[in-house]
Amino acid sequence: MAQLFGQLRNVDLSTAYYFETAFASGWTGVNIVKGYPNFPAVALPVVAVRINSVNTDLLEIGSRQTDDRYNIIIDIFAKSDGQKLDLAQYVKNLILADWVYYEWSRGSGDTMNQSANGKIVYSGFTQDLPLNRFEDIDVNDRFRYVIAVDVRVAKNV
């Protein structure tokens, strides 16, 4: 029997999957990871996707239904300053396009199943900046860019 995942994990998996497929068709040689990269096992350039926080509000007074807003952080670790800027622009364009919300489940063994059920919708950027640190910096952080975005789920009815 399939093990269904909750909406939080579905947003996480759907976002990583979106970046994996978008980069596979539009930009070669970029590693996409969930969470923080395991350097040096993962080679630059890297785009790392993680959920930072969830803001939960009640949908309406007296209701127990919630309107969850997810803050997603995308860390870009590039090989050069130019690549950092190009990857940041590419990522921002992907975010503005919204993406498919999948409901994920674990099948038998290590298989993962997905079923499209709406969109993950852009609500606004909360952070958009290159990290410019020059002293005592790790080689992997030298050309780093951080993007944080708020999104919500719009399920099919």
Rg, the chain, Cα only = 17
> Could you report the per-residue pLDDT of 83-135, keeping only the tens digit for each?
999 999 999 999 999 999 999 998 877 889 999 999 999 999 999 999 876 66
Per-residue pLDDT at 136 exceeds 60:
yes
CA angle 5, 8, 11 (to 5 degrees): 95
Residue 1: is its pLDDT beyond 50? Answer: no
State how far the Cα of 27 lies from the Cα of 104, in Å rounded to an integer.
26
Percentage, residues of the chain above pLDDT 70: 94
Instruction: Identify the residue whose tokens are 């990269």.
Output: 37
pLDDT attached to residue 132: 75
Spatial contact of 27 and 90, defined as CB atoms under 8 Å apart: yes
Residue 2, pLDDT above cutoff 60: no
Residue 105 region, left (φ>0) first, then alpha (ψ -120 to 50), else beta? beta
pTM of the model: 0.89
pLDDT at 135: 67
The tens digit of pLDDT for each residue in 21-33 reads 999 998 889 999 9
Q: Which pLDDT score, from 0 to 100, does residue 32 have?
A: 97
User: Once rounded to an integer, what is the mean pLDDT over residues 71-86?
Assistant: 96
- pLDDT at 51 > cutoff 50: yes
Domains in the chain with CATH codes: 3-154 (3.30.2000.30)
Torsions phi, psi for 119 (to 5 deg): -130, 155
Which of 7, 9, 15 has the alpha carbon at shortest distance from 100? Answer: 15
